[in-house]
Amino acid sequence: MPVTNLIVNGSFDQGSTGWSGTDLETSYDEGTYLGNGSPNRVAEMDGASNKITVMYQVVHIDHAGSVPLEFRTALRQGQPLANKEGFRVDIIDSNGKVIFTKSIYPQGQTWEHHSLAIDFPSAGDYRVSFTELGVNNSYGAIIDDISMLVCFVAGTLIETPDGQRPVEDLRPGDLVFNAEGEALPVIWTGARRVPMEDQIIDESLRPVVFEPGSLGKGLPARRLAVSPQHRMLVSGWKAELWFAESEVLVPAISLVNGDTIRQATADEDVTYVHFLFEGHEIVLAEGCPSESFHPGDHSLNGLDRDARNEVLALFPELNTTPVIAARQVIRRKLASVLVN
């Protein structure tokens, strides 16, 4: 899904646009600092020798829960000051209370990826701040690709051994029931917030809404919203007749009937949440069987660079061996026979 994240201009392609603070240095490219010839724009966390660089922006969080803050960082070429040049990450609520802080010191002149789990206690506005640490000599650490990603819509209840839990509260290590009743650990979670404005421009970003009972008695038990390409489990005689399978996976957008299953209008921001197991699984969302994140080419290409790299680091075999789908997957053009 080509969607955005909570951080504005985290790639610094537009210089300091979206960022506030003091002594911002976003004028140079990666090649200037690392000598690799890359024209990719980055930020340096030590602009001038007589000032402390502070760089921040305010983000809005819709729900309490954990959201990953991700970025990559490195030391400048010719400045081998491992453990001496870095920056501090602070998350500050609207009352000025620091809810998270961590010091980051890159170890060399190659990019390091960092993913910090930020536990937000409630909805609201929070300042995401980066403050220079180390020798104040204008040769600081560099940083790039800052993202905060907030494909179930947030608020969806997932069946777990601890009862139903909001999907956005799930974290790596948490147990979730699959359709067979096995409690499996979550390996990775990610989320993306899609502004209303983006949905107005591109209707493929708008969620598909399933009314209670639209897929059968009690399926779902409560209104369920998922991303258009998120696949739902469909069973019954039509699946047997047309596909010789008792259960098949179908993209949500293919099930739209204009009545009990419809695509939402673009009238509010929406947050899509992913979670990944060791394999592809069927889970219960609002009591309705649906897929976990399936890291195929289409899904991986919908992630931003850092999220994609994180998944591939956890599952390097994805570079050569695809994950087998939990059930037969029906393409959109063929799925119409299940609706009509």
- 89, 122, 148: which is the final residue of a domain? 148
| Average pLDDT for 226-235 | 86
Q: Which has the closest alpha carbon to 78: 138, 38, 24?
A: 138
> Is the peptide bond between 220 and the residue preceding it cis, with omega within 30 degrees of 0?
yes
DSSP string computed for 19-50? -EEES----SBHHHHHSS----B-EES--STT
* CATH number of the domain encompassing residue 136: 2.60.120.200
Lowest mean pLDDT among 124-128, 202-206, 308-312: 308-312
- pLDDT tens for 152-209 read 788 899 999 999 999 988 999 999 999 999 999 998 887 777 888 888 887 878 899 9
* Domain extent for 298: 152-339
135 or 65: which carries more pLDDT confidence? 135
pLDDT for 322: 55
Based on the fold, state whether residues 175 and 135 are members of the same structural domain.
no
- 121, 148, 175: which is the final residue of a domain? 148
H helices within the chain, ranges in order?
Answer: 30-34, 196-201, 237-243, 297-301, 305-314, 332-339
Based on the fold, state whether residues 230 and 273 are members of the same structural domain.
yes
In degrees and rounded to multiples of 5, residue 211 shows phi and psi of: -75, 155
CA dist list (Å): 17 to 23, 49, 132, 144, 278 = 14, 23, 19, 14, 39
Residue 316 identity: P
Q: Which helix (H) or strand (E) holds 75?
A: none
| Average pLDDT for 302-328 | 60
Do the domain assignments include residue 10?
Answer: no
Chain centre to alpha carbon of residue 277? 15
Based on the fold, state whether residues 157 and 301 are members of the same structural domain.
yes
| Average pLDDT for 324-329 | 77
pLDDT over threshold 60, residue 286: yes
pLDDT for 101: 96
Based on the fold, state whether residues 190 and 318 are members of the same structural domain.
yes
pLDDT for 268: 82
Under the banding of pLDDT at 50, 70 and 90, the label for residue 287 is: very high
| Average pLDDT for 74-79 | 82
Based on the fold, state whether residues 122 and 174 are members of the same structural domain.
no
Please report, rounded to a whole number, the percentage of residues in the chain having pLDDT higher than 90. Answer: 35
Based on the fold, state whether residues 141 and 244 are members of the same structural domain.
no
d(CA 26, CA 88): 18
Cβ proximity of 2 and 203 under 8 Å: no
Residue at token pair 């499996």: 184
pLDDT over threshold 50, residue 298: no
Based on the fold, state whether residues 191 and 56 are members of the same structural domain.
no
pLDDT over threshold 70, residue 304: no
